[in-house]
Structure 1
């Protein structure tokens, strides 16, 4: 069993490039099935320039590879990666 509070303190790491994406700020639950559909990684606050938050990252539940003691491994490709890779093809 895993509590949401324990889930939120784990670092989320992208297995595609090894980058830390952040921590889970929210989850999306399908109310009809009671299943988790996706996890939402809150954008980091900006210090200089704009004081708003960066865009949230939504990771579908199917893209979570492993939930470990310290980290959650996910498969994630940002929209900037998709466009740069698609332009090379």
Structure 2
């Protein structure tokens, strides 16, 4: 599967059915080549026009299923640490 295919899928919270957003980045272990986490921009902001997009890091262990149209994830997960946030 290509990254562009993952980016097209909606991220859905398993517990609530809430559409959370789309993948903006991947955290990959350079030693093994495996995906460690997905980074998503939360739904609701207009591409940063009204402020900085909120991002959430979803560890690979929280991913329940990757389907043809959606990725089901289990909450809770955390916002990225300050050191990984972009400097304005």
TM (norm. structure 2) is 0.76
In the aligned structure 1, how far is the partner of 2:11 from the partner of 2:39? Answer: 10
Q: 1:73 aligned to 2:76?
A: no
CA 1:31–1:14 in 2, change beyond 3 Å: closer, same or farther?
same
* Counterpart mapping for 1:4-23 below 5 A: 4-23=3-22
Unaligned runs of 5+ in 2: 79-88
**Matches of 1:32 and 1:78, distance apart in 2:** 24
What residue in structure 1 maps to residue 54 of structure 2? 55
- Bigger CA radius of gyration: 1
- TM-align CA RMSD: 2.0
5+ long unaligned stretches in structure 1: 80-89
Contact map agreement 1:46 1:53 (CA 8 A) in 2: no
Q: Stretches of 4+ moved more than 4 A in 1? A: none
The residue matched to 2:61 in structure 1 has which SS? helix
Counterparts of 1:20 and 1:57 in 2: how far apart (Å)?
13
Normalising by structure 1, report the TM-score.
0.75
| Alpha-carbon distance between aligned partners in 2 of 1:12 and 1:65, rounded to the nearest angstrom | 11
Aligned residues: 76
Task: Report which of the two has the higher share of helix.
Answer: 1
Change (3 A) 1:3 1:78: closer
